[in-house]
């Protein structure tokens, strides 16, 4: 039984590594911003295809509190600058 568990774990690991860089991290945004940053509602901004610099500036503004928000200011504080950069790269590269 143990070899099967190891094999399944290896398959999951390989599938995660085969994704685009940032895809796993960006999946944490999907509940509100939609899969790959394509928001399903007008109340939540779509992220897909936005310029990287815009995404970076907005996340940094949420993180430092200079942009008011309902929840994003709290969430942004949980990301490192490197993770914010990864997210911005990922969403900027998605088709709107």
65-89 per-position pLDDT tens digit: 999 999 999 999 999 999 999 999 9
pTM of the model: 0.78
Distance of CA 69 to the CA centre of its chain: 18
37 phi/psi in degrees, rounded to 5: 80, 15
Please answer whether residues 95 and 34 qualify as being in contact, where contact means their C-beta atoms are separated by less than 8 angstroms.
no
Name the CATH superfamily housing domain 21-92.
Cytochrome c-like domain (1.10.760.10)
Q: What is the pLDDT of residues 19-36, one digit of tens each?
A: 788 999 999 999 999 989
31 phi/psi in degrees, rounded to 5: -55, -40
What's the token pair of residue 4? 């099967």
């Amino acid at each position: 039984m143990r070899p099967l568990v190891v094999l399944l774990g290896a398959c999951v690991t390989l599938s995660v590594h085969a994704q685009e860089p940032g895809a796993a991290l960006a999946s944490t945004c999907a509940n509100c911003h939609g899969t790959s940053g394509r928001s399903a509602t007008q109340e939540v901004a779509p992220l897909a295809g936005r310029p990287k610099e815009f995404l970076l500036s907005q996340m940094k503004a949420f993180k430092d509190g200079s942009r008011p928000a309902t929840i994003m200011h709290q969430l942004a504080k949980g990301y490192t600058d490197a993770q914010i950069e990864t997210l911005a790269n990922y969403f900027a590269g998605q088709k709107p």
